[in-house]
A and B are shown apart, each in its own frame.
Chain A
Amino acid sequence: MRIDADMVGQAQRGNRDAFRALVEEHARGVFRLAFRMTGNDSDADDMVQETFLRAWKQIGRFDGRASFGTWLHRICANCSLDLLRARKRVRAQVFAGSESGVEDGMERVAAEGPSPERLALSGEVGEILARAMDGLTEAERVAFVMRHYEGMGIEDIARTLGVQPGAAKHSVFRAVAKLRLALEGVAR
């Protein structure tokens, strides 16, 4: 977008008003992505903040090959991945009650009771889906959200996750397989 390009150029030269315009333009879109990544609006708000903080810090590196919005969404995906990984580490250990529990705990995000955000989703299907998303590993979740909701290609996802395209592709495959299992009987 032309307006973005102008604003980004000014922001790169340190113009805070230009950056402000970019924040105001893109914050809602970043929030939607962050919510899908994290599953709740409090974490999503934090991710939005962190995304723009990192964007401001790194704006000099933005080269315009992707749109500014896409660039922001990649940053948001990375921030969310960091958060999900930190969450996993803590939960994996908290829930490790046995040797096998440690192993299981490493691979899952513990299911919690429905949050107010969940209850706001569209009824039972929304609840099942939200829980199923929580059951994905962090890489599966981020890969699936980027593929399904953001329309990003496997190569882009791999770059964002810092993995080989094959690994990114398999994260998407595993995510879809788990979601199909969770939604069995709901679909159709």
Chain B
Amino acid sequence: MSGHLSEQHLSEEDLILLYYREPEARADGVAHLQECRACRESAKALAETLELCSALETPEPSVDYGRSTWAQLAPLLEDRPQRRWAWKPVWGLAGAFAALVAAFLIGRATVPSRGVPMTAGLSAQARQRILAISLADHLERAGMVLTEVANEGDPASQRPQAEDLVDEGRLLRQTLAESGESATLEIVDEVERVLVEVANTPDQINAVEVRRLRDRIDSGSLLFKAKVLETNLYKDGKTI
């Protein structure tokens, strides 16, 4: 192989782009492969791995999968569908977890088998980071509830989520108060007050009450403030 050619060896990234025939793959890539045995070997090894990946099998859905999907879907389309699933996999797990984290941060939770506080061994920085992420997650879900109430028309449909948030929010707010985060606490308190109202919404709520609830959400740019705080907390959770 000539010195000229070896200087142009193809990197793994070049080979990947060539394999997938991406437009930005090196223009001289194919020609280089014809001339360079080392790169050809690398390309072959890469192709073998990627071909193995192609063998990843997926369970084959039954022939009537489309029909059964529709059967489950159809009632949801009639009844404000997008809400139903959205909470299902995320909500319960995240809510239970946030409560656990809050308990953990304020030192209530212990490792069950040994009675050791779960906070043991964690630095203040690590605790701060976990608190930031937990709060961000809490605010994200609270924001979803408030957005639904502000945009649609049926606060009662958000009651279960609001109840969960109020429960977990209690512990998070206690943690915040103990750590002296008063500015953050103020916004979380504000969100909490509206969530309590949503959680206590009666089945039959009149239009005036709905209007009043929406006004509370709109007043003081609550959603905006919560969103900004959530974004900052996520950022802090990664960088603290």
Contacts and interface: CB of A to CB of B under 8 A. Distances in A.
Interface of A: 16, 19-20, 23-28, 31-32, 35-36, 41, 43, 46, 48-50, 52-54, 56-57, 82-83, 86, 89-90, 92-94, 96-99, 102, 106, 117, 120-122, 125-126, 129-130, 133, 147-149, 153-154, 169, 172-173, 176-177, 179-180, 183, 186-188
B35 interface: no
**Interface of chain B: mostly helix, strand, loop or mixed:** helix
A149 B74 CA distance: 29
A57 B81 contact: yes
Nearest to B81: A53
A28 B23 contact: no
Contacts of A35: 58-59
Contacts of A24: 66-67, 69-70
Given A83-B90, A86-B90, A56 B125 contact: no
B1 interface: no
Interface string B62-95: 0001110110111011000110111011100110
Contacts of A57: 81-82
A118 to B, nearest CB: 10
A120 B54 contact: no
A94 B97 CA distance: 8
A106 B238 contact: yes
B134 interface: yes
12 contacts: A28-B66, A35-B58, A48-B69, A86-B93, A89-B133, A93-B134, A129-B52, A147-B20, A149-B54, A176-B12, A186-B52, A188-B45
Contacts of B24: 154
Contacts of A121: 56-57
Contact of A130 (B56, B93, B130): B56
Given A23-B69, A43-B89, A89-B137, A176 B50 contact: yes
Nearest to A48: B69
Interface of B: 12-13, 16-17, 20, 22-24, 45-46, 48-50, 52-59, 61, 65-67, 69-70, 72-74, 76-77, 81-82, 84-86, 88-90, 93-94, 97, 101, 121-123, 125-126, 129-130, 133-134, 137, 238
Nearest to B83: A53
A28 B130 contact: no
B69 A93 contact: no
A57 B94 CA distance: 25
Contacts of B238: 106
A177 B12 contact: yes
